[in-house]
Amino acid sequence: MKTFKGRPIVPGDVEGEAIVLDSISFYGDVDPEKGVLYDGRTIVNKILVARKSRGSTVGSYVIYSLKLHGKAPKAILLGRSEPIVIAGAVLAGIPLYNGLPEDFFKIVSDGAKIKVRRDGFIILDL
Amino acid sequence: MHLTREEERILAGELGWAKARALEVIVKVGEAVGAEKLVKISHAHVSGASYMTIGEAGRRFLEELAKAGARVEVPTTVNPVSYDIEDPESIPYTRIDSKVLKGQQAIMKALESMGVKLTLTCTPYYLDELKRVVKQGEHVAWGESNAVAYANSVLGVWTNREGGPLALLAAIAGRTYYYGPHVPEWRRPVAAFRLSRYKPLDSAEAGVLGYIVAREHKSERPPLVDAWFGGEGPLKEFLAAIGTASNLAMAYIPGITPLEPGNEFEEVIDLSEEDLKREMERLAPPGKPEIIYIGCPHSSTHELRELLLALKSRGKPKVEIVVSISRGLFTKALKEGLVDALRSYRVRFIKDTCLIVSPFSKYGKDVVIATNSYKAYHYLSRKGVKVGIASIKDMVAMAL
């Protein structure tokens, strides 16, 4: 078990399995109604982990749409976020954490169990 | 973040649920980027209004917001939509099916019910009404990247690159986060690009220069770009290219940007005629064009005059020239006789939309297009359309 600190932008207490990408553009990378990535993996009810998000305006709408269709991730953990994702996560009420350290990205992989806490602690079950 | 008592009251929901949510998003984004406070805005411009771009997700979002009673607090204009609202069949090769028609109507209805004025253009800065509402030095919240660059670099009106939803939420909250171009210190250019050249840049060259600068400039702070722009069209195309090829919100242009630049640059980069020529050749049209496309971002009347002049000196072209333009400027050009004069040379006008946000690319993949716009080149080529860049004069010559 290893603990990391992120900056809660939308705080929440959730637990789930990681789905890991290097970067994510919600517009283009994710089907907004099914929650499936371009490579076939699903983000539905997962803890979505990415070093950074890339911006396209429509990304906020896609996050909102995922929530409406019940296909949203449980939480989004990022190294660096930008306004597009923040707006989407706030509107959809999806826990969002920013500023996760590089060490975290080095060891996290698909399927890892993650506990996200409202105070910013991210607990990775190894 | 420091909030005023009024802002605290809005957040607490005393002025309605929708306004509280809108401000909450603005505050969260501001906190995430380290903004110290909010700033009141005098205008907003919303991007992402085309059903082709935002789809059902955007439609649902806008409808829910409208249903919750959201209203914009400042004058708000909006980007182009997926078809010409008075003449949906006017886009060449393109059919507007009932799904697009209905989706787009729902989006416009939601926006209008929130108090957004349906200007349907990506060049709000050319509208007379904008000049009445927004004064130099004011803060605004604009979503469209070319308009953002134009506001900061030419108008001296300060805005972040908000993106569509954030610009709309800022309009509802009447405020945005104090960050980036809103902060005087931030606007000082950090690197200088110089293009030595003895003739002015035309619109095609200016766009390609914008692409080169965007590619070479590594900071999010503005570059200074010392080049000779041959008028309004080239300026618009340069800034649109900057906005397309990077996340930049501004370029400092000596003699144009209403600010003192300072002279402490981390680096000075000299660009040559050769650098520009090489890229122009690489991006040239892939064969004889079947459509000539002007008006990305939406055309100014200056460009219409330039086009008319080129046509008058060369004669009637064999291929169609498509110009996308705001309804506002089209009406003005119609009164001036420019529209009829251009139509006699096979110019087709499309209003409220463009080849990028309409479904054109679904139908026009096999059509070779020449455009004077780097931005149009960027998006059309990504959608699989055969497209290249040339000046208005050269395109008219190609079309003979």
Residue from A9, A57, A68, A97 whose CB has the most chain B CBs within 10 Å, to mutate: A57
pLDDT (0 to 100) of residue B32: 86
Tell me what the mean pLDDT of segment B324-353 comes to: 97
Tell me what the mean pLDDT of segment B360-380 comes to: 95
How sure is the predictor about A77, in pLDDT bands with cuts at 50, 70 and 90?
A: very high
Domains in chain B, ordered, with CATH?
A: 5-184 (3.30.499), 188-281 (no CATH), 284-398 (3.30.499.10)
For residue A80, give the H/E element and its range.
strand A75-80
DSSP state of A122: E
Both tokens assigned to A48:
């979505």
Q: Label residues B307-319 b or e (16+ Cβ within 10 Å = b).
A: bbebbeeeeebeb
Mean pLDDT of chain B, nearest integer: 95
Q: Domain segments of chain A: what residues?
A: 2-125
How sure is the predictor about A84, in pLDDT bands with cuts at 50, 70 and 90?
A: confident
pLDDT (0 to 100) of residue B225: 97
Known catalytic residue: A56?
A: yes
Q: Chain A residues within 8 A (CB-CB) of chain B? A: 7, 9-10, 32-33, 55, 57-58, 60-62, 64-65, 68, 81, 83-84, 86-88, 90-91, 98
Q: Establish if B25 touches chain A: CB-CB under 8 angstroms.
A: yes
Question: Is the pLDDT assigned to residue B263 strictly greater than 80?
Answer: no
- Chain B, 131-150: which have a CB under 8 Å from a chain A CB? 143
Q: Give CA–CA dist B310/B294, Å, rounded.
A: 13
Query: What residue spans of A22-95 are helical by DSSP H?
Result: 26-29, 59-68, 83-92
Residues in B touching A57 (Cβ below 8 Å): 47-48, 53, 143, 163-165
Among B57, B169, B247, whose Cβ lies nearest the Cβ of A87? B169
B338/chain A closest Cα distance in angstroms: 35
Q: Could you report the per-residue pLDDT of B154-186, keeping only the tens digit for each?
A: 999 999 998 889 999 999 999 999 999 999 999
B17/chain A closest Cα distance in angstroms: 12
- Percent of the residues in chain B that have a pLDDT greater than 90, as a whole number: 91
Among the ranges given (A50-59, A97-106, B318-327, B363-372), the one the predictor scored with the smallest mean pLDDT:
A50-59
In contact, B201 and B231? CB cutoff 8 Å: no
Question: Is the pLDDT assigned to residue B102 strictly greater than 70?
Answer: yes
A61/chain B closest Cα distance in angstroms: 5
Question: Is the pLDDT assigned to residue B73 strictly greater than 90?
Answer: yes
Query: 3-state class of A86 per DSSP?
Result: helix
Higher model confidence: residue B214 or residue A80? B214
Contacts of A15 (CB under 8 A, 6+ apart): A74, A113, A114, A115, A116
Question: Is the pLDDT assigned to residue B5 strictly greater than 70?
Answer: yes
Tell me what the mean pLDDT of segment B79-108 comes to: 97
CB distance A83–B55 less than 8 Å? no
pLDDT (0 to 100) of residue A55: 63
Q: Tell me the CATH number for domain A2-125.
A: 3.50.30.10
CB distance B163–A83 less than 8 Å? yes
pLDDT (0 to 100) of residue A41: 97
Tell me what the mean pLDDT of segment B239-258 comes to: 94
Q: Give CA–CA dist B108/B85, Å, rounded.
A: 10
Question: Is the pLDDT assigned to residue B142 strictly greater than 80?
Answer: yes
Structure ipTM: 0.81
Q: Which of A25, A56, A60, A65 is catalytic?
A: A56
How sure is the predictor about A59, in pLDDT bands with cuts at 50, 70 and 90?
A: confident
Question: Is the pLDDT assigned to residue B200 strictly greater than 80?
Answer: yes
Tell me what the mean pLDDT of segment B51-79 comes to: 94
In contact, B380 and B361? CB cutoff 8 Å: yes
Tell me what the mean pLDDT of segment B131-137 comes to: 93
Higher model confidence: residue B151 or residue A60? B151
Q: Give CA–CA dist B116/B118, Å, rounded.
A: 6
pLDDT (0 to 100) of residue B221: 92
